[in-house]
Amino acid sequence: MLVLLCAIAGAACSTRTVIDSGAPAATTAFPKDRIAKGATLAAIGDCASCHTAKDGKPYAGGFPVSTPFGTVYGTNLTPDPATGLGRWSEAEFRRALREGIGDHGEHLYPAFPYDHFTLLHDDDIGALYAFLMTRDPVRNEVPANTVIVPRAFVAVWKKLYFHPGEFRADPSRDPRLVRGEYLAESLGHCGACHTPRNKLGAEKKDEAYAGGEVGGWHAPALNAGSTSPARWTADAMTAYLSTGIADDHAIAAGPMAGVTRNLGHVPKDDVEAIAAYAVSLNSGGSGARAAPARRAAAGDRADSDVNGARIYAGACGDCHDRGRAADGGALPLQLAIAPTLPVPSNLIHIVRDGIVPQAGERSRWMPSFAGTLTDAEMTDLVTFLRANSGYPPWTGVPAAVREAKQARE
């Protein structure tokens, strides 16, 4: 088997070449409308999130992307000639997106989701290139990746899981759904988070949109396995994607907050198309669960359950029991998705860290309880909220609480 893998890797490596693609285009060669289109596409792709370090310059790279195989750092996408894209031609840029090959002919790690970007049309790739090449150049040498897998073996991964090719539309389908599928599956790379992965880090295509893990958060299932207590409609999904909040649904948090923040700058037609496609993924299921029955009286509960109810009443109930219609009210928790997910990570993150808008941003917020609740109290509260969701109890909640705490320290 090892000999076979080495042969595959060797064959794939032998095809790597440095392409003679000419000099980078002068920034004056890009029309304003093309740059503007590229800005919209970059927002749809949430490019800034993975290519901007904390407190760093936009698109200058350095953001750590954690994988089971080590950390990959987002590259510098500004046109700095020494550390960024300044010497890249459009042909090299296109090859990186379409084939996962760098400017020196090296295989790129698939943390860069070229398995989705390969679907992009040439004109959209050109617009993205125009946008990035007209950003302010920032000299920023990003940290070296710590991935334990040699790049040569990425060739093996590609042979097994990478299927390059431009998106082809089915002319018989609803044009809005076609547009939504193109944006979601290519630049939006929604499946990269919302689809589970196998042991080699490839998406399980036979479980598309069944839910995945990203950055310590669970990306909920979008298919018929969705546990959202309220049915998603195209209008609700459009509102959520463009503002981070929708009636009867939770506020965007974690990695999704950046996605919705960027989609807020995208034309409504494109957001509506993505929303329509996302909702269509759930066409085979109910899209919502009936509200669970209320729990037993306090006298019939375990001590931890009673303690969780007490903590909820003191820390959460004042806002969540009044609902959003009331001044200072919040989403009734029977409509929240975090307690219904297969793992407790999202709920723990939200309770610990709150939901805080960026500086200068007007949005709903939730306070952090990291300095208010002990680990034991956090565990009891999370366990209580899960019990009230009507789903089976989570296992390993105390360990998950400790893990979330360590991740913040």
b/e 270-294 (16+ beta carbons within 10 angstroms → b): bbbbbbbbbbbbbeeeeebbeeeee
Out of 226-240, 278-292, 307-321, which region has the weakest mean confidence (pLDDT)?
278-292
Q: Are 73 and 61 in contact (CB under 8 A)?
A: yes
Q: Are 373 and 401 in contact (CB under 8 A)?
A: no
Average pLDDT over residues 33-62: 97
d(CA 408, CA 176): 41
The token pair at 163 is 């299927």
Looking at residue 24, its pLDDT comes to 62
Average pLDDT over residues 57-75: 96
Amino acid letter, residue 357: P
Over the chain, what is the mean pLDDT? 90
User: Taking 80 as the threshold, does the pLDDT of residue 334 lie above it?
Assistant: yes
Q: Are 107 and 151 in contact (CB under 8 A)?
A: yes
- Using left for φ > 0, alpha for ψ between -120 and 50, and beta otherwise, residue 328 falls in left
Domains along the sequence of the chain with CATH = 2-161 (no CATH), 175-195+205-280 (1.10.760), 298-408 (1.10.760.10)
Identify the band that residue 28 occupies on the pLDDT scale cut at 50, 70 and 90.
low
Residue 72 DSSP symbol = E
Identify the band that residue 18 occupies on the pLDDT scale cut at 50, 70 and 90.
low
Looking at residue 223, its pLDDT comes to 96
Looking at residue 290, its pLDDT comes to 44
- Collapse the DSSP code of 2 into the 3-class scheme (helix H, G, I; strand E, B; otherwise coil) and give the result: helix
Model's pTM, two decimal places? Answer: 0.90
d(CA 258, CA 260): 6
Looking at residue 339, its pLDDT comes to 97
Average pLDDT over residues 313-337: 93
Identify the band that residue 265 occupies on the pLDDT scale cut at 50, 70 and 90.
very high
* CB neighbour list of residue 294: distance below 8 Å, 6 or more residues apart: 388
d(CA 175, CA 170): 9
d(CA 164, CA 217): 29
d(CA 30, CA 131): 8
CA 49 to chain centre: 9
Looking at residue 328, its pLDDT comes to 86
User: Taking 60 as the threshold, does the pLDDT of residue 172 lie above it?
Assistant: yes
Average pLDDT over residues 78-96: 97
The token pair at 39 is 């800005």
Helix axes 2-13, 154-161, angle to 10 degrees: 90
d(CA 267, CA 41): 10
Amino acid letter, residue 135: R
pLDDT per residue over 206-235, tens digit each?
A: 999 999 999 999 999 999 999 999 999 999
pLDDT per residue over 338-393, tens digit each?
A: 999 999 999 999 999 999 877 767 677 899 999 999 999 999 999 999 999 999 99
User: Taking 90 as the threshold, does the pLDDT of residue 407 lie above it?
Assistant: no
d(CA 166, CA 145): 29
**Between the CA of residue 141 and those of 30, 47, 248, what are the distances in Å?**
27, 18, 44
Out of 314-318, 364-368, 370-374, 396-400, which region has the weakest mean confidence (pLDDT)?
364-368
User: Taking 90 as the threshold, does the pLDDT of residue 316 lie above it?
Assistant: yes
User: Taking 70 as the threshold, does the pLDDT of residue 59 lie above it?
Assistant: yes
